[in-house]
Chain A
Amino acid sequence: MALDKKIVESLVARAEKGDRTVLRSNELKALFDEIKTLPPDEKAAYGQEFNAFKAKLESILDNLAASPSNLKPIDVTAPWDVNTVEADRPKTLRAEDGSTHPLMIETQELIDIFARMGFSALESRQIDDDWNMFTSLNFPEGHPARDDYDTFIVEEKDKHGKNLIAPAHTSTMQNRVLKANKHLLARGEPIAYVIPGRVFRNEDVDATHDHTFYQLEGLYVGKDVNTGHLIATLKTFLEEYYGQKLKAKTQPFYFPFTEPSFEFAIEKPKALKKSANNTEEWLEILGCGMIHPNVLKAAGIDPAIYTGFAWGGGIDRLVMLKHGIEDIRHFHSGKLNFLRQFE
C-alpha cells in the first residue's frame, strides 16, 4: 500500500507556499496512522515511504526558507523608498488608535500615589536566585512554606549551584532594596520603596488565574516603626486610590518573612459597587506584616534598632475589579479589540 496520492499532493502544494504547519497537520498524522491498519509484512515498507515523504516536505520548506528573498534590497538610510509618491510615504497612525496596557496604566497610578507619599520605585526582576526568592526571606531550605508558592524552576543554576527561579512574588527584591538603601537609615531617613513587577506561578490558567501576573511590593523601614503605622499607611493609600474614606480590617496570616503577618481587607469601595461579578462585601486587597528580624538581619540591618513593614498585592485584580474585566487571559492575549478600549 502506498501513501494517499491526493493528500500527498495537497501537502506538497502547501509546503511550496511556505506553510510550515503541514509538518504538524492532521492530514500528515492521518497518513502516519494508516500504518496501524496494515498487515505486518507491509508495515516496514509503508513506514519507509512515509519517512521519505516527511523528509521531502521538510526539505521543500528548508530550501524555501534558505532561498534568496525575492524582496530587493532597499536603502535603509533613506526616509522612504525611491519613487514613493507623497501619499504613500510612511505615516504613523492616529493618536486615537493608540493605547497603553491597562495593567501598566494601573501600575503607573500606584507608583504615582506612593511617590506622592514619599516612596521610591524600582521594577522587580524576572529571573532570580534562591537566596533572594526564599532564603533571605526567612524560608529555610526545604521549609514547608515554600510549597505555597507554585514556583517555576529554571534548569540553569546560580553561583551556589542552586536552580534559578522565575520569581513567584515581588518580595524577591526585598533583600537587595534593603541592602542598597541601608545607608539612608544611618542618616536618619527611612527606606521607603514600592516595587512593581511581573511574577510567575506554575498554575493552570483559567478565567481568574494566569501563570504570569503583576504585583506591587512595598517596604518601609526606619526607627520606631510599628504595626499601627503599617495599617495606617495602607489605609491612607487605598483611600487615595479609591478617592473615599474606607473601613479596613486585618486578618492574621502567615508569611515567613513577616511577623506578625496579615491579610488586609477593605469594605467594597463605591466605585466598584456596580460590578456584578463581585458580591463580596470585603475585598482582600493585599498581604502585609512587620518585616521579620531575620529578613532585616539578612540585609545587614540591626533589627534591635530598626523595624519596618512590607506588603504586596496583585495589580491584575485591581484592574479587573475596576473595569469589570471578566477574563484574566485578555491581559496577555494581544487582542486589539481588548487593548484599544483603554487610553
Chain B
Amino acid sequence: MIISLNAIKQIYKQTGAADFLPDDINKVAEKVGAQLGEIEEIIDLGKKYEGIVAAKVISCEKHPGADRLKLCTIDIGGNSTVVKGDKDGLVQVVCGAPNVRVGMLAAWIPPGATVPATYDKEPLVLEAREIRGVKSYGMLASAHELGLSDDHDGILEIDKEAKPGDLFAKLYKLDDFIIDIENKMFTHRPDCFGLLGIARELAGIYHKSFVSPEWYAEKAQSSKLKTQSDELPLEVVNEIPELVPRFCMATVSDVKVATSPVWLQAALSKAGIKAVNNIVDLTNFYMYYTGQPLHAYDYDKVAKLSGKNAQIKVRKAKQGEKLKLLNGKEITAENGDIMIATDKVPVGIGGVIGGADTEVDASTKNIILECANFDSYTIRRTSMHHGIFTEAVTRFTKGQSPHQNLAVLTKVVGDTVTFTGGKISGTTFDLKGRLTGNKTIETSPEFINSRLGLKLTSEQISSILKNVEFIVDSSKDELEITAPFWRTDIEIPEDIVEEVGRLYGYDHLPLNLPKKTMTASVVSDELRLKQELRGKLAALGANEVLNYSFVRSELLENAGQDKNDSYKIKNALSPDLQYYRQALTPSLLEKVHPNIKAGFSNFALFELGKVHINNKTTGGLPDEFGRLSLVTASKSKRVAAFYTAKKYLVELLAGLDVDESELSFEPLGTKKDASTTYYEPGRAANIKLNNEPIGYIGEYTKKAASGLKLPEFCAGFEIELATLLNLNAVASSYKPLSRYPSISLDITLQTDSSTSFAEVKNALVESIESSAPEDLSVKIESLDVFSKDSNHKNTSFRIVATSYQRTLTTDTLNIILDKASDHLNKTIKASRV
C-alpha cells in the first residue's frame, strides 16, 4: 500500500485531528515499521519535481525555422538559479504544443532539472539548447511529462490561483513523502488499503484519537440520494446475494467527461494510478481513499446492450461466454465467475475488471456508478484463473466491509455531480443479501495482560481501542468490545490482544524468559543418528552432499526405476523437478562425473536424506524412508570398487559398535526393486545386520554407468536408517586384561574356488570355538585370499589366542588348529596348507 504523507495530513485537517506527525520522515518510518508493517520504500517526491515552477506565457509567436513550433517568452517570476532571462527576466522557450497561448500559466522544467516522467527510469535531464537556430531554455511540460497521466496532446495548464515562479510541487502538494508498506502485512486488513484506514491507524499508534469523516460513519449508511432529474430507466437484479452480499448503483445524467483537475491527477499519480478522465478518476480516488473499489459504466452503452430497458443483472457466468475487457484482453468466462451483465450480454467481471463495451469515454453523457461487495474467495479464484490482477482485486480479496458501500457511493455520486455538472437520476439501488454486523467480544484486562505480559488498566485499554473507533464498554469487570464495521478481521479476544499490543507498542513489552522445568529435552533418535553418521563419514574422508528431493524422469530411467513408483509434482516449473526420488544413490551418482571433470580423482560422496515410494503409506500419508547413501569413485583405480564401498560400510558401522561378525553380505539375486535396479548382479550384495536386511551395496549396471558417465571404479551402498535406530544398545564388551601373553599363529586353508570367503571364515570360527578350551579367548584376522588356478583358492588367517589361566605355547594352539582343520575338511572340504 502506497501512502502519501500529505494526503494523511490532509485527512487530519478535514477530520479535525491535530497534526501530530513529526516532521522527520525517518521517525515516522521507524514508527510505521515497528507498529504497522514493513516499509519497502520511502520516496522523497519533492526531489522528482525539484526546480519546476509556474510560468506565465508572455509572448507566443511562430518559430522562424519550423511551422509546427512556437517561440515563447515566459515569466518565471525570477525563480531560477540557472537561467537569468532577458532584461525583463523573461525566458525564451520553444514549444510544440497546440494549446500554448499568451496568458496561460504552465509548468516550466528548467535546464538542469529532470523530466518527472523519466525520474525513476532513465532520467532525462534538460539543458539549454538550440532548436532550429533558436535557443530554448528548458520546456513547458505536458501532464505526461510531469508523470501525472498519459495525456501529451498539449501542455498542462495550471488550473489554480498561482503566480509565476511558484513551485509546481507546492501548488499541487507534490512536495510529499511516499511510504510504501508491504501489502502482505495487510492480508487481513481491508481498511488499510485506503488512506482513511492508514490515517486512523497512524493516529492509533501515536496514541491520538481519530474520528472518521461523518459521511463515512455508520449513521450515513442509510442515507438516500435525492433524484434531481428525469429518470434514466434502469432495472437492477442481484441473482447471487450469497456471493454479492451488497450491490449499490446510482445513475447520473448529463455529465461532462473531461480531464480531471490537476490536483486530482497529482493525488492519483502518487498512488501509481494514471489519470483517465474525471469520472474514472473520481472512482479511483475514492477507492484509494476508502479501500472500496467502484466502477462507472456508460449508461447509454448499457441500454443499447440491453433488451427493452437498460438492465444490470448480477449473476454467475455462463460457461464459455466471452467478454472484452477494459485492458484490451478478451476472456472466456468460467462457471464460478461473478458477472455483471445486461439481460443479454456480460458487461464486466464483478469485483475484478469492467468490460470494454461499456467504458466511460469522451462521448459519454450518462453514467451508472457501482459500489458493491463481492465474496473474496470467488474474486481470488477468478483473478488467478484469468491472470487478472487489478487494484480492485487486491482490495476485494482482503474482505472489504459491505457496510461502507452506500456511504461511498453517495459520496462519489455527490462529487461527480459537483465536478461534472451532472444530475442524480432515478432511484439509488441498494440490493442487500444477508449482512451481519461485527459481534461484541467479551474479554478482560487480565486476559489481554496475560497474553502480552503487561499490566494495562481497563482505562488504558479502552483509550487505545477508542482511538481507532472501537466501541468499548468498560463499565463492568469485563470489557465489551465491538470493532467498527470496516474491521472485518476482528473476531476473537486474541484479535483484541493483537490490536492492543500493536497500538501500545511491542517494543515496550517487558522481556522475560519463560519458566523452565527440569525435564530433559529430547533430540529425536533419527537426528542424533544422522549427526553421528555424518561425523564418522567425514572422519573417513567422505564428503556430505545434499541433493534435491525431486529428480527428472531421465535419471529414474538411467537408474532403471519406474516413474510410476514416484510421487509426481503437478506444477513443477522445471522438468528437472517432476518426481520424488525413490532412492538417494542415483542423485549421488549424478554428482560423480562433474567432480571427476573438475579434477578430483578419488573421492567418496554421501548423503543422509529421505526417499518416498508411491503407494507406500501409513495412516493415509506417504511413508518417509530415512536413508544413508555413499558412493566411492576413482578416475584411475582398476581394482573392484565393491570392496572399497564395503570398507566404508564396515568402518562406519564399527563406529556404531557393530562388529564385523554381525554383518553378512549375500549376493544380490535377480529379483529387483526400486532400490536395486541399478546394481550389477554379480558384483552387488544384500547387506544384513544380525540377519536382518539393512540395505544394498555394489557396483553399477552398464546402463547406469553409461547413462551417468561413471568411471570404471565406482561403487556404493544405501542403507535404511531405521534399521540402525533399532540397534540394541550393546552391553559393554569389556574383558578383564589377562596376566599371560597372547600368542599368534597363521593358518592357510585351501578350498574349492567356489567356496566363499564367508563360508571359510565362519566354518573356521565355529570349529575353533567348539574345540578351544574354555579359558581361551581367540581372535581371527583375515590375511590374504590367493588363487593360483581357477579351481582352488587359499585363504589365510591370523589366529591370536589369549588364556586367562596359563602361558600358552605354539603347540597348544597348533593342536587346536589341527583339530579345527580336520573338522573343516569334513564340512567344507578345506585342507590346511
Contact = CB atoms under 8 A, between A and B. Distances in A.
Interface of A: 17-20, 64-65, 67, 69, 71-84, 88-101, 103-104, 108, 111, 114-115, 118-123, 125-129, 142-145, 147-148, 152-156, 158-160, 163-164, 166, 188-190, 192, 196, 198, 200, 202-204, 211-212, 220, 222, 224-229, 231-233, 235-236, 249-254, 259-260, 262-263, 284, 290, 292-293, 303, 307, 331-332, 334-337, 339-340, 343
A71 B381 CA distance: 59
Contacts of B644: 90-92
A129 B534 CA distance: 30
Contacts of B684: 76
Contacts of A334: 545-547, 588, 590-591, 594-595, 605
Given A99-B544, A259-B498, A189 B519 contact: yes
The majority secondary structure among interface residues of chain B is mixed
Contact of A69 (B519, B612, B680): B680
Contact of B494 (A114, A293, A335): A293
A171 B168 CA distance: 52
A226 B546 contact: no
A100 B492 CA distance: 48
A118 B706 CA distance: 51
A125 B624 contact: yes
B701 A69 contact: yes
Nearest to A18: B706
A123 B381 CA distance: 34
Interface in B162-220: 184-189
Interface string B25-63: 000000001111110000000000000000000000000
B648 A92 contact: yes
28 contacts: A76-B667, A77-B758, A79-B782, A82-B787, A92-B540, A92-B647, A98-B543, A115-B521, A118-B517, A120-B521, A125-B624, A127-B580, A127-B622, A142-B377, A152-B569, A152-B570, A153-B569, A155-B567, A166-B549, A198-B549, A228-B511, A229-B514, A251-B34, A331-B546, A334-B590, A335-B595, A335-B598, A336-B595
Given A76-B642, A93-B602, A123-B527, A118 B516 contact: yes
Contact of A229 (B36, B513, B640): B513
A290 B526 CA distance: 29
B252 interface: no
B757 interface: yes
A156 B614 contact: yes
B669 to A, nearest CB: 12
Nearest to B568: A155
Given A76-B683, A155-B569, 18 more contacts: A18-B702, A20-B558, A75-B757, A80-B785, A123-B526, A128-B621, A142-B381, A152-B570, A159-B620, A212-B549, A226-B452, A227-B501, A227-B509, A228-B452, A249-B33, A253-B184, A332-B546, A334-B546
Contacts of B20: none
Contact of A307 (B451, B600, B683): B451
Given A147-B380, A147-B384, A226-B451, A129 B567 contact: no
B702 A69 contact: yes
Contacts of B680: 69, 71
A197 B580 CA distance: 16
A160 B683 CA distance: 45
B651 interface: yes
Contacts of A17: 706
Interface in B617-647: 620-622, 624, 639-640, 642-644, 646-647
Nearest to A72: B682
Contact of A188 (B452, B517, B526): B517
Contacts of A251: 33-34, 37-38
A76 B577 CA distance: 36
A140 to B, nearest CB: 9
Nearest to A166: B569
B730 interface: no
Given A93-B602, A259-B495, A260-B502, A69 B185 contact: no
B621 A129 contact: yes
Nearest to A141: B377
B223 interface: no
Contacts of A108: 531
Nearest to A254: B187
B660 to A, nearest CB: 9
A148 B186 CA distance: 13
B453 interface: yes
Contact of A129 (B514, B541, B542, B620): B620
Give the interface centre of A67, A128, A251 by most chain B CB atoms within 10 Å: A251
B541 A95 contact: yes
A227 B506 contact: yes
